[in-house]
Amino acid sequence: MNTTKISEEKRTALYEVVIPAQDIKVRYDTALKKISQTADIEGFRKGKAPLEMVSKTIGHESIYDQLLQDLVSDVYQKILEKDSLRPFISPKIELKNAKEDEDWVINISIAIEPRVTLPDYKKIIADIRAETKKDNIWVPGKDEKTDAASVKKREKFLNAVLRSLIDKTQIELSPLIIDEEITQRLSRLVDDVRKIGLTIDAYLRSRQITQDKIKEEFTKDIIDTYKLEFALNEIGDKENITVEKEEIDTLLKKLPEKDRHEAEKNSYMYSAMIRKQKIIDFLGSS
């Protein structure tokens, strides 16, 4: 088996894997044996049917599916270990050639974790603070009132900081991530539209918009979302913003007792939520 790195650009690594025909035959036999261990064939105890009977019953396609699944998993792990990659989503697999008695050729595209370049976020905060003073808008420390007007002013200040942070942050984001996000969003949109008795075409006509325009809107929103998430995380790292166990415990205690045990198993999620809020609070009060 020969694995070649073809390219790495836009946080996407592309590999070509060539598997000799003889190796495919060996892996085919291995896949057949694996399937036979759980195959339920009439006239035989589960997992005890002869390989020939299993092959005839389930068909070559199922065996090749198992072969490909095991092969890709094996090759993918070796690539990650060899090149120390940090994948962000599942790889994209393209079977370029899989003809019988020929070498197989597989392309594996790997979306690497996005990378951001932060702007001077402290300058962003200072500039917006200066503007809010001109407009007599709330500034951290100026007014500690908790009435509705004060809250709105604080939200306006924070939203301006976050918007500027998004606009000025640069991100390297794999197109594979964007494509996957768009697919998921379109799927949810189709489901939501069906629930109100419309087809996606009827929905698009009602909005006087095309599917390409929807994808364009999704793309911008996806990029902005990733910019903000990764920018906040990097700011948290730079400012050494952490979450103590006591903070997680305090949050979990506020949950209904019936939900607490399950939440404790996913405490890392609550830790991430608390940290994100602390970072946002830092930006809003700096």
Q: How far apart are CA 128 and CA 203, in angstroms?
A: 40
Model confidence over 183-220: pLDDT tens digits?
Answer: 999 999 999 999 999 999 999 999 999 999 999 999 99
Model confidence over 141-173: pLDDT tens digits?
Answer: 555 555 677 778 888 899 999 999 999 999 999
DSSP character at residue 255 = S
Q: Which two tokens stand for residue 42?
A: 């009439």
Q: Are 25 and 8 in contact (CB under 8 A)?
A: no
DSSP character at residue 143 = -
* pTM (two decimals): 0.83
Dihedral (Cα; 62, 68, 73, 76), 10-degree rounding: -160
What is the predicted pLDDT for the residue at 64?
A: 92
Structural domains in the chain plus CATH codes: 2-112 (3.30.70.1050), 117-238 (no CATH)
Write the CB contacts of 132 (distance below 8 Å, at least 6 apart in sequence): 138, 139, 153, 156, 157, 160
| Residue given tokens 């996000």 in the structure block | 181
Q: Which helix (H) or strand (E) holds 4?
A: strand 2-9
Q: Which helix (H) or strand (E) holds 170?
A: strand 170-172
